Amino acid sequence: MSSPLPPGWIEAPLGSLAEIGAGGPAPQDKSCFSPDGTPFVRVQDLGRLGSKALISETADRLNESGVKTSRLRLIPAGAVLFTKSGMSTLLNQRAILGKDSYIVSHVGYAIPYDGVLSHWLYWALKLIDFGPLTQATTLPSLQLSKVKEVGIRLAPVSEQHRIVAEIEKHFTRLEAAVEALKRARANLRRYRASVLKAACEGRLVPTEAQLARAEGRDYEPADKLLARILKERHARWEADQLAKMRAVRKPPKDDRWNAKYKEPASPDTTNLPCLPEGWVWAVLGCLADVHLGKMLSPKAYETGLQQLPYLRNENVQWGRIDTIDVKMMGFKQQELERYCVETNHLLVCEGGEAGRAAVYAGPSGEFMYQKALHRVRPIAGLVSPYFIQFCFWHYVVSGVVIPRPSETTIQHLPLERMVVLPIPLPPLAEQRRIVAEVERRLSVIDELVAAVEANLKRAERLGQAILKRAFEGRLVPQDPSDEPASVLLERIRAEREAAKPDSESRRQTRGIRTRRRAARGADG
């Protein structure tokens, strides 16, 4: 902090204001744990606090045997805790110990000396980034010697109380606002899910059957549309087979080859909702051609191949294709058509967040695609790729048809599962109206979510601004009659010096005993 110190303040190393240390490793033996034992803190307990400062409950407890085995120290209530090692995103976690508890590995502590408020130290450390103090290892770890040297601004005791009270008043209001924003974000998430569900169940817009009756006209129901799709699907297969036979100069002698064509299976609708009038269930393999992309391997970079940009799992986000970070891979000439992404192709993630989908709206032939993705190509323009995209979105968000990873060990959508996924099929005109309405509502949701996220970031910046103002001495008026912090620091030093002789005497006594034992051993 570069601003000048307010009158009566000082800046001192953290080690002169608090006792700094860290816990040892936790016991590995499960018999050392019991529900009614002594609570102890792990780094996970700090992470569960969120915006709260006080930690009074822990996930684990040690029984008497565990306490003796671990040789862990009982840290007093009021100690300020910090993450000692872990991922860089965790290193700036802070907490105040609400009651005496054992501290374990990865958790450091600062026990304030008399005259330094726990909450003062807590808020001061919230302003400091411990990242630069870590050792360069795979798992970053703080060096306590460097932690002790961190400069902390110290105000007179009375002013500490006033500033802490004012900080907590501001943060109480700020946290209430943040909680309201998080509720709004959760409500928007639920609303999005309800829009997708209604779209896939025929409840978002008037059905084509309802409109046709009201307008006194006919319409093509989905069963007739499906018949057209199946006919077109069969015609495509025939054309493909004839092309292959001509390529090897073996034209068919009769029509028996056509008997090899297999009609797609009917979907299992046992646990699926009833569809509205004019709709029908169909499997995805009936409505579209589904293919996995090219396997990425060292062979993809051999000489003689065309190095082309390809899309992978990370490029497919919900409802959009992110082409900022696109990799290159080699393709043979005969692979170009097979692995090319064209306008209005739907790309679906095979793994990761299995089922995440987006329609590619860019120019045809600009990108290829990897095996981590399925390319879904609707047949003859009779099915909207955007409607299928919204079906996937609903399936993944709701856990219906495509279970969430936390609910199943299956976290992939292999091709054999993709082609038999049940898809609700509305009449073509109704598909278009549904897509338009979903896009309209989702655009409003996206705008509101963006506003919520912007306000959450603003709240975070505001919190830091409050703390910065507090530790610059500009949050509350100062009282010239307050005892200067320099006097407080001298008192702390004097008390620590007074406690040293006892410790020094004990060390000297232990040294004498050690030398005597060594001498006796030498004589023997």
**pLDDT over 60 (residue 408):** no
Range 153-163 average pLDDT: 97
Question: Which of the four pLDDT bands, split at 50, 70 and 90, describes residue 136?
Answer: low
- Convert the pLDDT of each residue in 33-57 to its tens digit: 888 888 888 888 887 876 678 888 8
User: Is 0.75 surpassed by the pTM of this model?
Assistant: yes
Cα-Cα-Cα-Cα dihedral sign, residues 159, 165, 166, 167 = positive
Q: What is the pLDDT of residues 428-462, one digit of tens each?
A: 999 999 999 999 999 999 999 999 999 999 999 99
pLDDT at 88: 64
* pLDDT attached to residue 514: 45
**Cα gap 119→159, rounded to integer Å:** 13
Section 164-173 average pLDDT: 96
The residues, ordered by sequence, that sit 6+ positions from 309 with a Cβ below 8 Å of its Cβ are 326, 327, 328, 366, 367, 368
Domains parsed from the chain with CATH numbers: 1-155 (3.90.220.20), 194-449 (3.90.220.20)
Q: How far is CA 342 from CA 215, 345, 364, 413, in A?
A: 37, 6, 4, 22
User: What is the chain's mean pLDDT, rounded?
Assistant: 89
| 420 CB-near residues (< 8 Å, 6+ apart) | 265, 267, 283, 284, 285
Are 70 and 26 in contact, with CB atoms under 8 Å apart?
A: yes
